[in-house]
Amino acid sequence: MKTASLLMLSVGLNVALAAAAAKWLRAPQPSVLSVPTQTEASAKTGVACAVTNLPPGTTFVTNRFHWRQLESTNYDEFVANLRRVGCPERTIRDLIVADVWQTFAAFKNRPDTTPFWANGPRRVAAERQREAEAFQLKEELQAMLRRLFGYEWTPELERDIFKDEQVICRVLLGEVSEDQFQRAYGLIMSAPAAKEEVEWRCRNIFLDEDYAELRRWRDEAERQLRAILPPAPFEEFCARAGLMDWLFKSGGLEELKPTATELRQITLAGVQVRPLGWNVLELEESQTKEEKDADKAALARRMREILGEARFVELELLEDCNYRGIRSFANESLLPIETAHLLYEVRKLAAEEVQNLRQDKALDPTVRTQQLEAVTASVSREVNALLGSKFGDYLQKSGQWVTNVNRL
């Protein structure tokens, strides 16, 4: 009886627990579930609450701007979009120029579709076609950058600021703004590319019309450069560019040691006779002998005005490397300049006499040898008389021609 009572009590408790569990675990009905708003929750707790039971697919618009709104396959439209949102002009230009580099590089590096068995005229024609397409694309990209930014671009531009081309141009252009430098640099470095393009079209056989095209390009480039640089920086650029030309073609100017004022006047005089870009475009090749002589005479007149007659004559002598060697020895040995002039005259006369003896085909070889030995002996006596105690030093340093006519 006692056991049965305990069993009935246990069964009753288990039923009651099962009913309570079923009621507790039953899912709440949506109709009775109340979700406080974020404002209400914040008011009660003082802490902002995030809404987490929004319907799927709900999005919040926090900013209506997206870069896709600016993108365009048209450069003009893309640049206009960037300017409209206030993007800095230099940044816009850098973006477009970088894309231009990529576009041209991809075009140049495209695979060659010419069949491998093609040869002769067919392969040459295909290569010419590829080159023509590259020139056309380059012209289109150049025109676009000029139109949008007034900026000269060419694939030959050196992008690394530490490379020689950029360093030299920065020295030549001097103290200008970065924008002025970039525009002028592109223009300066376009000169070789312009010549290459004309050279390609005329197949390296220049006619008058080809040189005329290069002259027109040079004139337009100078006009643009004057528009980029104020008058003072432009004149400074001309002086520095002219100095580079002088240093490349003249060894005498450095030896003459002109003053700073003389040097500036000389370099600007050179630019007046042969304008900027003349040497790069090799326009001298288009001149007649009379035109070249007229340029040379005009420059000589201006040089006489700047240096005076005596120093101008000295500069002409210094253009001869043989005289430069003699003058260098005279300076080291503290000899007067007149001694250097006399020694140079002895050398020049000896060289002329030796040349005449060698060119005389009717002269017997034995007699020629004897006469060459006589010239050597005579030259030795004259040089010894001029230099005195310095004669031995000169023979050891640079005077081997005195005892060996083969050095003349």
Q: What is the pLDDT of residue 255?
A: 85
pLDDT of residue 60 exceeding 90 = no
Q: What is the pLDDT of residue 246?
A: 84
pLDDT of residue 21 exceeding 50 = no
- What percent of the chain shows pLDDT beyond 90? 59
d(C-alpha 20, C-alpha 30), whole Å:
21
Q: What is the pLDDT of residue 406?
A: 87
Q: How far is CA 211 from CA 155, 201, 205, 207, 208, in A?
A: 23, 12, 11, 7, 5
Look up residue 58 and give its two tokens: 């709900």
Q: What is the pLDDT of residues 308-326, one digit of tens each?
A: 999 999 999 999 999 999 9
Q: What is the pLDDT of residue 156?
A: 76
Q: What is the mean pLDDT of residues 43-53?
A: 48
* Pure H helices in 174-288: 178-201, 208-228, 231-249, 252-256, 260-273
Q: Is 49 left (phi over 0), alpha (psi -120 to 50) or beta?
A: beta
Q: What is the pLDDT of residue 297?
A: 95
Q: What is the pLDDT of residue 14?
A: 55
For 130-149, letters b (16+ CB in 10 Å) and e give beeebeebbeebbebbeebb
Cα angle 284, 289, 290 (rounded to 5 degrees) comes to: 110
Cα angle 112, 116, 121 (rounded to 5 degrees) comes to: 90
Q: Residue 175 is which amino acid?
A: E
Q: What is the pLDDT of residue 72?
A: 59
pLDDT band at 40 (very low <50, low <70, confident <90, very high): very low
Which long-range contacts (C-beta less than 8 Å, at least 24 apart) are formed by 207-210? 208/286
Q: Residue 259 is which amino acid?
A: T
pLDDT of residue 257 exceeding 80 = yes
Q: What is the pLDDT of residue 39?
A: 45
pLDDT of residue 408 exceeding 80 = yes
Contacts of 314 (CB under 8 A, 6+ apart): 256, 337
pLDDT band at 236 (very low <50, low <70, confident <90, very high): very high
- What percent of the chain shows pLDDT beyond 70? 82
Which long-range contacts (C-beta less than 8 Å, at least 24 apart) are formed by 243-250? 243/267, 244/172, 245/270, 245/274, 245/279, 246/270, 250/319
Q: What does pTM read for this prediction?
A: 0.68
Q: What is the pLDDT of residue 10?
A: 58
Q: What is the pLDDT of residue 151?
A: 86
Q: What is the pLDDT of residue 116?
A: 77
CB 271 within 8 A of CB 264: no
pLDDT of residue 68 exceeding 70 = no
Of residues 42, 38, 61, the one with CA closest to residue 51:
38
Q: What is the mean pLDDT of residues 9-30?
A: 50
Q: What is the pLDDT of residue 2?
A: 47
Q: What is the pLDDT of residue 155?
A: 84
State the average pLDDT for the chain.
84
Q: Which helix (H) or strand (E) holds 317?
A: helix 309-318
Got the DSSP string for 321-341? HHHHHHHHHHHHTT--HHHHH
Look up residue 354 and give its two tokens: 């030796």
CB 391 within 8 A of CB 397: no
Q: Is 135 left (phi over 0), alpha (psi -120 to 50) or beta?
A: alpha
Q: How many CA atoms lie within 13 A of 113 on its CB side?
A: 4
Q: What is the mean pLDDT of residues 258-285?
A: 93
Q: What is the pLDDT of residue 74?
A: 85
CB 149 within 8 A of CB 83: no
Q: What is the mean pLDDT of residues 115-142?
A: 86
Which residue has better confidence, 72 or 353? 353
Sign of CA dihedral 146, 151, 154, 159: negative
Angle between helices 231-249 and 164-173 (to 10 degrees): 120
Q: What is the pLDDT of residues 183-213, one digit of tens each?
A: 999 999 999 989 999 999 999 999 999 999 9
Q: What is the pLDDT of residues 335-394, one digit of tens each?
A: 999 999 999 999 999 999 999 999 999 999 999 999 999 999 999 999 999 999 999 999
d(C-alpha 50, C-alpha 192), whole Å:
66
Q: How many CA atoms lie within 13 A of 115 on its CB side?
A: 5
Q: What is the pLDDT of residue 43?
A: 45
